[in-house]
C-alpha cells in the first residue's frame, strides 16, 4: 500500500485508465455509431430515472419544507419592515434577508432583564492550595 502514497504512480494509473476508456469509446463509435448513440441514450435515460426517483424520495423532507416556509416568512417580514420605514423595496437574496433579520434583532431595544444581585463572599479569596 506504500505505492499508493506516491502521487506520480497514482497519476500515471489514472491517466492510463482515462486513455484506455477514450480508446474504447472511440473504437465503439467507429465500429457501430448507431449502437453507440443508442447505448448513450439508454444510459442517459437510466440516469434521469434514478435522479428523479432519488429527488422524489429524499427531496420532500419536512425540514426542507419548514426551511422554505421560514425563508418565505422572513422575506415578507423584511418587506413589511421596509414599507413601514419608507425605504421602499430592496432586492436581497434569502441569505441576505436572514442576515439582515439577525442584525435587526440585535439592534432592537431589549427589555430590562430584572435581575437582582445576591451579595455573597466577594471579599474572601479561595484557598487554591487545598484543591
Residue 23 is predicted with a pLDDT of 95
| Residue 120 belongs to some domain of the structure | no
Query: Domain of 72?
Result: 47-86
In a domain, 9, yes or no: yes
**84-128 confidence digits (pLDDT tens):** 777 554 555 555 555 555 555 555 556 667 777 777 766 666 666
- Is the pLDDT at 80 greater than 90? The verdict is no
pLDDT of residue 24: 93
Where on the phi/psi map is residue 87: left (φ > 0), alpha (ψ -120 to 50), or beta?
Answer: alpha
Residues 63 and 27 in one domain: no
**Number of domains observed in the structure of the chain:** 2
Same domain for 52 and 20: no
Regarding predicted confidence, which is higher, 52 or 119?
52
Say if 82 falls within a structural domain: yes
> Does 108 map to a domain?
no
Q: State whether 55 and 19 are in the same domain.
A: no
74, part of any domain: yes
Tell me, yes or no, whether 30 and 51 share the same domain.
no
Amino acid at each position: 500500500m506504500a505505492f499508493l502514497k506516491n502521487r506520480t504512480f497514482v497519476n500515471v494509473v489514472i491517466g492510463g485508465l482515462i486513455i484506455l476508456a477514450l480508446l474504447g469509446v472511440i473504437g465503439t463509435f467507429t465500429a457501430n455509431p448507431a449502437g453507440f448513440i443508442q447505448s448513450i441514450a439508454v444510459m442517459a435515460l437510466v440516469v434521469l430515472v434514478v435522479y428523479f426517483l432519488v429527488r422524489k424520495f429524499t427531496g420532500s423532507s419536512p425540514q426542507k419544507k419548514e426551511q422554505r416556509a421560514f425563508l418565505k416568512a422572513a422575506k415578507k417580514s423584511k418587506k413589511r419592515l421596509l414599507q413601514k420605514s419608507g425605504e421602499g423595496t430592496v432586492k436581497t437574496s434569502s441569505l441576505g434577508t436572514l442576515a439582515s433579520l439577525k442584525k435587526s434583532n440585535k439592534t432592537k431595544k431589549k427589555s430590562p432583564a430584572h435581575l437582582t444581585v445576591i451579595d455573597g463572599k466577594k471579599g474572601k479569596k479561595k484557598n487554591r492550595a487545598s484543591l
